[in-house]
Amino acid sequence: MQILYNFGLIDVIKKEYVDNSYMIVDGENIIEIGNQEVLSEEQKRKGIDFQGKTVMPGMFNLHIHALSTPIANPASLNWEDPSKIGIRGLVHLQQHLKSGVTFVRDMNGRKQAEIGLRDAIREKIVVGPDYYVAGQCLTMTGGHGSNTGRECDGPIECKKAAREQLKRGVDFIKLMATGGVMSPGMNEDETQLDEEEMAAAIREAHKVGKKTAVHAHGASGIKNAVKAGIDSVEHGSYLDDECIELMLERNTAFVPTLAVDYYLFKYGIKRGVASYAIEKAKRAHEAQVKGFLKAWNAGVLIGVGTDAGTPFNPHYGTYMELVSMVELGINTMDALVAATINSAKIAGVDSWCGSLNVKKRANFLVLDNNPIDDIWALKNIDQVYKDGKLISLPEVEYLPHLD
């Protein structure tokens, strides 16, 4: 049992900063939390003094590609042996953990390496964040993601493809409703899997209590996915009023992945990303910002994801998603809520993580500075606790190293 005290707590449920706090952790879980005035001097002597630092729940990143290295052309590494891809993935996941992310969702696997990696973390063979995987994304023949995804056409094939992923033991199903930025020969907003195809796959996931997520840039693809019953829309670049209305009606969540453009525009142009990808991203960026703000103001449930693993989009850069939100005018506390309890709700894990409360998992961050005062404080995490244990991982120099 650990007694931790003398810190300011960010309570993402009540949306307040609580000074002079303490927390008692037994094993993996929080068993007591409150004002440190109730602690005896003996308890303080046995405990750990956090010296007035700030404690907040571990962050979520709901949209990553753990098995993808964020270089100019990540697909150039697809030929690698699955064992090497798995090792790369572990390094990436540990980068997430060291940067304050205690829960991630992986949006597309590679060579079936992701299931074993996830299980190795769950069995505590290796250290990493809580890791939910979709296995192979489901895409139409020749669609976005077809180089690594499961191609399927028509409701019957999509139903079978979803069952294949579920048989492998995935945590959720990922579908591709539109084209993408990185795929040559297609527009990012063009419609791909249609409503009936996605509905067939979504039903299979929901039958066994699994969530679903959709890659969707164009408005028609977003509407198809929402009508099909999708749980979260990823990217949503051309989100319009009708999309937002449908999402509110059907309680569909939104993960905008704003940070991907920050990294792509800052590093991609000068470091070799294909010009067609840059042009598509520029075309979508302005519309995405407008749609995100409309969705936020309308009350759509919004979580945090960065699309880490895309070109020069690092696996230690989750803080930039929150910075992007705040720079667009989102209240800082609300951005922290999006990165924690709201994201936990989207992933379906809010009963056991996402906030610091009794009986929940002791996944939290210790920071020298309060991110409510300055969101950039999230760039420098002092300590990370996962499942009640202080995480200590070796420093690995691993590309890309960005300023």
**Distance between CA atoms of residues 236 and 243, nearest Å:** 9
pLDDT per residue over 246-287, tens digit each? 999 999 999 999 999 999 999 988 888 888 888 888 888 989
Q: How far is CA 100 from CA 77, 231, 277, in A?
A: 27, 25, 30
**Cβ(23)–Cβ(30) below 8 Å:** yes
Looking at the structure, tell me whether residues 46 and 64 fall in a common domain.
Answer: no
Looking at the structure, tell me whether residues 153 and 252 fall in a common domain.
Answer: yes
pLDDT per residue over 54-63, tens digit each? 999 999 999 9
Domain that includes residue 380, residue range: 2-58+355-390
Looking at the structure, tell me whether residues 210 and 310 fall in a common domain.
Answer: yes
- pLDDT for 220: 97
**Distance between CA atoms of residues 247 and 231, nearest Å:** 9
- pLDDT for 403: 59
Identify the CA nearest to 338 among candidates 6, 60, 44, 115: 60
User: What is the distance between the terminal CA atoms of the chain, rounded to a whole angstrom?
Assistant: 39
Looking at the structure, tell me whether residues 158 and 45 fall in a common domain.
Answer: no
DSSP track, 343-384: HHHHHT-TTTSSS--TTSB--EEEESS-TTT-GGGGGS-SEE
- pLDDT for 111: 87
Identify the CA nearest to 146 among candidates 197, 187, 180: 180
Looking at the structure, tell me whether residues 31 and 130 fall in a common domain.
Answer: no
**Cβ(204)–Cβ(212) below 8 Å:** no
Q: What is the DSSP letter of 265?
A: I
Looking at the structure, tell me whether residues 48 and 69 fall in a common domain.
Answer: no
Domain at 321, CATH number: 3.20.20.140
Tell me if 403 is assigned to some domain. Answer: no
Structure pTM?
0.95
pLDDT per residue over 109-149, tens digit each? 988 899 999 999 999 999 999 999 999 999 999 999 999 99
Tell me if 68 is assigned to some domain. Answer: yes
Looking at the structure, tell me whether residues 40 and 136 fall in a common domain.
Answer: no
- pLDDT for 397: 62
Tell me if 266 is assigned to some domain. Answer: yes
